[in-house]
Structures are given as C-alpha cells and as structure tokens.
Chain A
C-alpha cells in the first residue's frame, strides 16, 4: 500500500531534550516536506527536499533540522525543543514539487 508513515504518532517531552520524528514513504517520490499545523494558522512549511541530499528552508525553519540521505526517509530533528514547538506535525511526499502531496497521519508533539 502506498503510504507515508510517521513515528511516533504522539510524543510528550521536556524543554531541551533532543528528539527526532521519522518520516518514510514507499512511493519513490522525489519531493518530501515537513509542516506544522497550529490552530488559526493553518499548515506552515518547515523544510522541504527536492531530492536526496537537497534540502531547503520553508516558512518556519527556526529550531528544526532535517536530512535526506535516502530517497525514502526525511527525519525531522528538534535539537533543543521549546514549548512553542508544541504542535501537530505532518510529513508529506510528492512525485515532484509540482504534483499532489501525500500526507502522513501526523505527529502530535507536546513540549513541556
């Protein structure tokens, strides 16, 4: 089944404790992206990747890191999480940047 998977689905952590949210797709898509969704603000793009080893900042990259060492994986790293990073995070992939995106189920992160 074609899908985008994210882990974990739920995470409660404390300020400053490094964490990684994994994202994997099995559709051989070139384009992958991370978004955060906050009430009243819609989805905002954090980082995106056009292909392996190519990543670029989105609208809200501060406090996040990403890497794209393999085509299928695009982990999101929070080196020192803060409470303002409490949010619902979505990973998405697309055949290319000009095509429909397939979204993962979301990761609900709470930083205390």
Chain B
C-alpha cells in the first residue's frame, strides 16, 4: 500500500524554467518530506513540511501542503542542469515512512 504518488512521472524542461511536481497521499500525516535522487544513488533530503504548515521555502525550493486535499507540491525555480534527478515525496502517518514512485526531472541546458 503506497502512501504517496507523484505527478507527473516524468518532466522535461529548459534550463531557467520552473519545475513543479505534485504528491498525493492517502491518510493523515505528521510530516511530508521531499527527497532528490541522482541515478541510483542515495536519496538526499530537500525539505520537510509539518502537517500544521502550509508553505515552506528553502533557496530555490518552495513546498506547499494542503492537508484537506492530501496533496503537496514542490516548485523548483530557475532550474539548472544539475537539478536533473528523480524527486520523491515521503509521508509518515506514524513511525513508518511511505515514498512515492517519484518524478523524473530532466533539465535541458
């Protein structure tokens, strides 16, 4: 039973454009986190948003959380070729973590 689902599955944009990816989940959560993974390597934490927060910023990243719709979005502004990676949302309804299948982002130089 997968908790998070990212949308779209794949996204291709030009360098300098913004990239938006979405995450939907099924049950109440404590926190929602976004991670990045470069081709088969370990995941790197990007940002954590708590269930009582609606929006959070970190550098070029902006995350929103709508608990009524059970959804979150990750916006990467002014994308760079180095942002090419897979992005995953992770939710923790309890002590377990559920990851989605990810969005594969390609930024074309």
Contacts and interface: CB of A to CB of B under 8 A. Distances in A.
Contact of B95 (A43, A92, A97, A105): A97
Contacts of A43: 43, 88, 90, 99
A40 B44 CA distance: 19
Interface string A28-70: 0000010100001111110010100000101100000000000
A100 B34 CA distance: 9
B98 A59 contact: yes
Contacts, number: 65
Contacts of B88: 42-43
A33 B97 contact: yes
A59 B98 CA distance: 8
Interface in A62-112: 88, 90, 92, 97-106, 108
